[in-house]
């Protein structure tokens, strides 16, 4: 498998396009300035057909577009992408393929999911889900898990700068490699899916980390991407757990400091860490995590 290095792609909290300062009053009535993340529309076309308008922070529009189409079964992994045209002035992106596409019927079956920022998936949500075979040989050492959470939680990010945003990270062993953020966790997932497809990254030995809830949508997208291990600092939904068990996905939640809970696929976990050497989570990151749970 191709080796991924640490933070090959990571957030840039200093990018002026991604957050803006806003004046307000604090709890003592003092004038303060606080950073808030941006939201902007991105209208996505597949060839000549308008598909959806996504609300996004605006970085990596090409990855978001490709990943969205891939995770919605509107783009196949073996499709030849002949062009990706982004027009920032009109907030539009067009993904062009050699294969002729026609999705009128599928577009009629959109359903809203529990994802924030109006995430949607199509009515044939479970299409191909049962066909995915996740690697039984993948492993997650607890020493890797503790190292990953520490590195991710302390990395510069919009999450730490402004809150009100979700982060997702593609990891390999103890290395967080592809770190994406967006106002909706589904967008952050799709950016990673797009990066993996466009860069030929195999999923079998990867770990997926998210700051958001482990919902059915998160489980389905992770399984469809072929990633065998999903970790979150947040909690679970019942359907998300049921789907993880059905797919053989290792599902770990409430991963903070020394603590985590695995509710599916625990055969992949290797308990090699000395807990006496693992630090509890810094209170600053714990507070940020509580805000993410509420989003």
pLDDT on residue 123: 45
For residue 110, pLDDT beyond 60: no
Q: What one-character DSSP code corresponds to residue 16?
A: T
Chain centre distance of CA 272: 27
pLDDT on residue 200: 96
For residue 236, pLDDT beyond 70: yes
Domain 40-123 has CATH 3.50.50.60: no
Work out the average pLDDT over 81-100. Answer: 96
**Residue 157 CA: distances (Å) to CA of 12, 168, 169:** 6, 11, 12
pLDDT band, residue 285 (cuts 50/70/90): low
pLDDT band, residue 108 (cuts 50/70/90): low
Written as six digits, the tokens of 137 are 């040989």
Q: CA nearest 64: which of 235, 185, 218? A: 185
Reduce the DSSP state of residue 19 to 3 states and report it.
strand
Indicate the pairing of strand 40-46 with strand 92-97: parallel
Q: How many helices (H) and strands (E) does the chain have?
A: 8, 16
pLDDT on residue 105: 64
All structural domains of the chain with their residue ranges: 40-123, 140-294
Distance CA 233, CA 231 (A): 7
| Contact status, residue 44 vs residue 51, Cβ threshold 8 Å | yes
Q: What is the pLDDT of residues 154-168, one digit of tens each?
A: 999 998 898 889 999
In terms of phi and psi (left: phi > 0; alpha: psi -120 to 50; beta: otherwise), the region of 133 is: beta
pLDDT band, residue 241 (cuts 50/70/90): very high
pLDDT on residue 117: 43
Minimum mean pLDDT among 121-125, 134-138, 257-261, 271-275: which range? Answer: 121-125
Work out the average pLDDT over 141-152. Answer: 96
Written as six digits, the tokens of 193 are 């899916």
Distance CA 207, CA 266 (A): 14
Q: CA nearest 159: which of 10, 9, 58? A: 10
Written as six digits, the tokens of 288 are 């940020």
pLDDT on residue 158: 92
CATH number of 140-294: 3.40.140.10
Reduce the DSSP state of residue 193 to 3 states and report it.
helix
Q: What is the pLDDT of residues 17-65, one digit of tens each?
A: 999 999 999 999 999 999 999 999 999 999 999 999 999 999 999 999 9
Report phi then psi at 204, rounded to 5: -60, -30
Report phi then psi at 149, rounded to 5: -65, -35
């Amino acid at each position: 498998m191709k080796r991924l290095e640490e933070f090959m792609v990571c957030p840039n909290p200093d990018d002026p396009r991604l957050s803006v300062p806003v004046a307000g009053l604090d709890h003592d009535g003092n004038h303060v300035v606080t950073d808030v993340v941006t939201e902007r529309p991105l209208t996505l076309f597949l060839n000549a057909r308008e598909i959806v308008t996504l609300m996004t922070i605006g970085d990596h529009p090409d990855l978001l577009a490709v990943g969205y189409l891939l995770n919605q079964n509107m783009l196949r992994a073996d499709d030849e992408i002949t062009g990706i045209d982004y027009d920032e002035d009109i907030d539009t992106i067009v993904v062009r393929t050699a294969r002729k596409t026609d999705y009128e019927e599928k577009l009629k079956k959109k359903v809203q999911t529990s994802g924030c920022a109006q995430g949607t998936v199509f009515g044939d949500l479970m299409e191909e889900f049962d066909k995915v075979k996740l690697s039984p040989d993948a492993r997650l050492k607890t020493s890797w898990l503790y190292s990953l959470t520490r590195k991710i939680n302390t990395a510069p990010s919009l999450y730490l700068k402004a809150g009100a945003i979700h982060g997702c990270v593609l990891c390999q062993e103890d290395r967080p490699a592809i770190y994406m953020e967006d106002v909706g966790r589904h967008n952050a997932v799709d950016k990673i899916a797009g990066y993996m497809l466009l860069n030929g990254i195999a999923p079998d030995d990867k770990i997926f980390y998210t700051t958001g809830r482990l919902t059915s949508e998160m489980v389905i997208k992770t399984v469809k991407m072929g990633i065998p291990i999903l970790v979150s600092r947040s909690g679970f939904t019942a359907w998300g757990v049921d789907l993880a068990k059905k797919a053989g996905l290792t599902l770990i939640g409430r991963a903070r400091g020394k603590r985590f809970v695995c509710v599916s696929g625990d055969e992949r976990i290797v308990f090699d860490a000395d807990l006496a050497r693992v630090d509890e989570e810094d209170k600053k990151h714990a507070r940020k995590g509580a805000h993410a749970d509420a989003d």
